[in-house]
Amino acid sequence: NAGVTQTPKFRILKIGQSMTLQCTQDMNHNYMYWYRQDPGMGLKLIYYSVGAGITDKGEVPNGYNVSRSTTEDFPLRLELAAPSQTSVYFCASSFGTGRDEQFFGPGTRLTVL
């Protein structure tokens, strides 16, 4: 049981480039989330999904897109990378919402130059 896995661990992008951050969970969780963590700012929700085929915006969705074609996978797409997207990105999952704790992946450290 690997939990939540993320790839890549690190990435450097040039301004204007695009990339996809991968996230997979093997716990059969319905809910999945993408957060970004900036120093001293806590975690901000980018997008979330309540099940395959259903996604919704979080607090800071601009510049990002997601899809959820399977229960296991929840990739995050960055189009036209900007320096403001330099951050650490965490994927998380939970069985339900509200009462259930979230399980986090190890993170992807992204730098946009």
The site for other proteins (CB under 8 A) is made up of 4, 33, 40-43, 45, 48, 58-59, 90, 92, 97-99, 101-107
Q: How far is CA 102 from the centre of its chain?
A: 13
- Looking at beta carbons only, is 85 or 107 nearer to other proteins? 107
Beta strand 43-51 pairing with 31-37: antiparallel
- Looking at beta carbons only, is 31 or 78 nearer to other proteins? 31
Residue 21: what residue type? L
Shortest approach of other proteins to residue 104 CB, angstroms?
4
Shortest approach of other proteins to residue 16 CB, angstroms?
28
Shortest approach of other proteins to residue 74 CB, angstroms?
15
Shortest approach of other proteins to residue 64 CB, angstroms?
16
| Owner of token pair 């450290």 | 109
- Looking at beta carbons only, is 15 or 54 nearer to other proteins? 54
Three-state SS for 21-76 is: EEEEECCCCCEEEEEEECCCCCEEEEEEEEECCEEEECCCCCCEEECCCCCCECCE
- Looking at beta carbons only, is 78 or 105 nearer to other proteins? 105
